[in-house]
Amino acid sequence: MKENYLDDYSQNKNRYLLSNPLYRIKYTHLAAIFILIVNALVFSENIIAIFVQLILAIVIFFHDMDDKYLKTALSQKIKDLKHHEETLKKKVEKEVQKNEASNKKIIDQLMASKRVEHDLSAQKYALDEHAIVATTDIDGNITYVNDKFTDISGYTKEELIGKNHRLLNSGIHDKAFWQEMYHDITSKKTWHKEVCNRAKDGSLYWVDTTVVAMFDDKGKVKSFIGIRADISQKKKDEIALIQAKVEAENSAVAKSEFLASMSHEIRTPLNAILGFVTILKKTEQEEKSRGYLDIIDSSGKSLLTIINDILDFSKMQSGKFDIEKQPIVPLEEFSNTIMLFSSNSYAKQHTYTVYIDPKLPRSLNLDIVRINQILSNLLSNAIKFTPMYGAVNVGITYVENKLVISVKDSGIGIAEENIDKIFSAFSQADGSTTRKYGGTGLGLSISSILAELMDGTLTVKSEEKKGSTFTLSLPVEVIDIEPLVLVNKNHLATVKIAILNNTQEHKSSVELMKQYLEDFGVKSVLSLETYQENGYDVLFFVPDDEYNEEIVESDTPSIALFRDDTVDIKHLEHIVPLRAPFIPKSIIESLNRVCSQDIKGALKEQEKSPEDEEIQFQGNILIAEDNVTNQMLIKLLLMDYGLSFKIANDGIEAVEMFKKGKFNMVLMDENMPNQNGIEAMLEIKAYEKEKKLPSTPVIALTANALESDKQRFKEVGMDGFVAKPIETKSLEIELSKYLQLV
């Protein structure tokens, strides 16, 4: 490389010299020196000789300096050129690499753009295949539609492009509907609604519509795009569903009206039947006649139970069933319910044992009507499915803040494969059960639902041909935890009582009596297998021919335990009959009748139930009732309470009599000719308001006994409600609210 530069220098010396800055600088300096020398020579004597020598010196100087400096400059230039070459090479390589990266990026962008274009094309294809698509300008003029749009609308693309979208307006939606759309889409919001459009042939179709605005680079709306899905079939289904719902509701109303009508028509004669039976039982003394009356009473109540079951199940299905809690005395309430089933149990000669824990809280807040309904269903089934000479045992206790009721029987039992379905509506263990024993199959289903509504459980354990045990467990609200006072336990603790039993047959009754006596505080209970007179104050015995005569002849206070009411003993002062089921109240009453005066003093501390007192009211009652039989019944009931009354045959007559007389209460039937009870009540209330008279309570006395009826009467202004058949307790409650006791 160096040799090449030297050869070039020799051939082009002048060009190198002139182009070399260093050389030019040195040459300039020498010229200056030369000028100085010339100036000096001007003043010299031998100017020519000096001038010649100077010229020679300069020539030699230039020759030497030229070679020296030019070689040095050339060498430096070679180095600079090499450095510049390397730098330039690196720059070229860097630029090449940069260009390659840039080219690759451009190629990648082009490829990505191609892919996006392909994806957009695929998405557009998919969208066109699936959805109904259209675009419009800002004035709503159609600029694009896909094939699905033309298919559903019936228009061709040529008929649509350029036309305003109002062409499809069905008129179903109001102006505000479209104003909302325009506001949303111009506010950069997505508008989504179900829209009804009109096709070319005039038919209507529904589309699920989404509309968004498209904006230009300056953020101004330039067009709109609408994507729709055909929901015409969905709308038809919705309309059909609404129609079906309306039909179902109408059917439910018709069903409720039918049930209410059925309830009214059946309850009206039942009211008379059960009412007069109750009155006759108070006056009839002959045992056989009383037995017949009991049969009528039991049959009527069974019919009433069936009616109530059907009505209750209907209400449960419609979700209109409510639990109504009220304060009750459980010991008394459950005792009364259990005693209702004693005659049915006697008829089948069952061993009917009942243990109601005397230590139950004095007062609980619960829906006693529904709990008694469950208990009645369980007892009815136990007696029904237990054959002659079997056993039915009832236990009622309070354990860990829960009321526990169990009903055990020795009946036919339930096969294991059928246990799961016995709580289903209209279901019994099998078809033969229904044919043999009857029943609607609703009792257990209703009972199970009632238990759940009260946050409790109803469970069953059963073995086929050995019997069943149903257990109801309910959380209850305690009002007064202290038990009801039946006896003075401190005084009764000194009483000695003996129980005589020489047969295995009555063992369960004897053991139950021991438990009760211990609960009452009796500390000395002797078990005798043979009769003896000494060592006790009171004797409990099961009548038997082997020792009846000895007991009858003695004067020992005794209580005869009867399993049923088919056996009787002589009427003796020292012997008192006590019939199963044995409950706390009846045991105390029996002890009270036979004990000595000292023991009676302890027993008389028993709390007296209001039911034991004969209640008398004072007042004048207006009765509005169109049924003559029911008029007779209500008259007799009011007479028993010491009340006076007047009777009106319809609503119009009731209003006229009210205006002319003075009454403390109105008992108003609802379904009466000429004017119904509600209309008459409203007219009476308006009359009192007009005359500024004090309000007279108007009590609905009706066979329309559904809970919805009760609520309806309350809403229209009735002051109370008594259902038919009339229960004296319900009537007493309403009378006691507004009338004074005598």
Tell me what pLDDT residue 295 has: 72
Average pLDDT over residues 144-166: 91
Span 624-635, mean pLDDT? 88
The confidence score (pLDDT) of residue 159 equals 92
| Mean pLDDT, rounded, for 172-179 | 90
Q: Which residue has the higher pLDDT, 160 or 67?
A: 160
| CA atoms lying within 13 Å on the CB side of residue 120 | 6
pLDDT at residue 437 in the model = 47
Q: Quote the pLDDT of residue 6.
A: 46
Q: Compute the chain's Rg from CA coordinates.
A: 57
Q: Is a pLDDT exceeding 70 seen at residue 274? A: yes
**What span, in angstroms and rounded, lies between the C-alpha atoms of 310 and 440?**
9
Mean pLDDT of 14-26: 46
**Percentage of residues of the chain with pLDDT beyond 70:** 73
Q: Are 334 and 313 in contact (CB under 8 A)?
A: no
Most confident of 105-119, 206-220, 256-270: 206-220
pLDDT > 50? residue 433: no
| Cβ(502)–Cβ(529) below 8 Å | yes
The pLDDT value recorded for residue 446 is 83
pLDDT of residue 23: 45
pTM of the model: 0.52
Q: What is the per-residue burial (b if ≥16 Cβ within 10 Å, else e) of 339-360?
A: ebbbebbbebebbbbbbbbbeb
Which residues have C-beta within 8 Å of that of residue 256, sequence separation ≥ 6?
A: 314, 318, 706, 708
Q: Which residues contact 276 (CB under 8 A, 6 or more apart)?
A: 633, 636
pLDDT score at 12: 52
CB neighbours of residue 80 within 10 Å? 10
- The pLDDT mean for the chain works out to 78
Which ranges in 154-225 belong to alpha helices (H)?
157-160, 175-186
User: For residue range 201-242, what is the model confidence (pLDDT) as tens digits?
Assistant: 999 999 999 998 888 888 888 899 888 888 989 888 888 888
Residue 503 has pLDDT above 90, yes or no: no
Range with the largest mean pLDDT of 39-48, 120-129, 159-168, 296-305: 159-168
Amino acid at the residue 194: E
SS3 34: helix
Helix (H, G, I), strand (E, B) or coil at 669: coil
Query: In angstroms, rounded to a whole number, what is the distance separating the alpha carbons of residues 414 and 406?
Result: 17
pLDDT tens column, 98-111: 766 666 676 666 66
CB distance 324 to 450 below 8 Å: no
Q: Give 587-593's long-range contacts (Cβ < 8 A, gap of 24+).
A: 587/513, 587/516, 587/517, 587/520, 588/486, 588/487, 588/520, 590/559, 591/538, 591/559
Range of lowest pLDDT (215-229, 404-418, 492-506, 571-585)? 492-506
The Cα–Cα gap between 157 and 547 comes to: 113
Say which residues have a Cβ less than 8 Å from residue 634's Cβ, sequence separation at least 6: 623, 625, 645, 667, 701, 726
Rounded mean pLDDT of 547-570? 71
b/e per residue 723-741 (b: at least 16 CB within 10 A):
bbbbebeebbebbeeebee
Tell me if 378 sits within 8 A of 447, measured CB to CB. Answer: yes
Give the contacts of 629 (CB within 8 A, at least 6 positions apart). Answer: 269, 272
Q: pLDDT over 90 for what percent of the chain?
A: 24
Across 236-240, 326-330, 525-529, 690-694, which has the greatest mean pLDDT?
A: 690-694
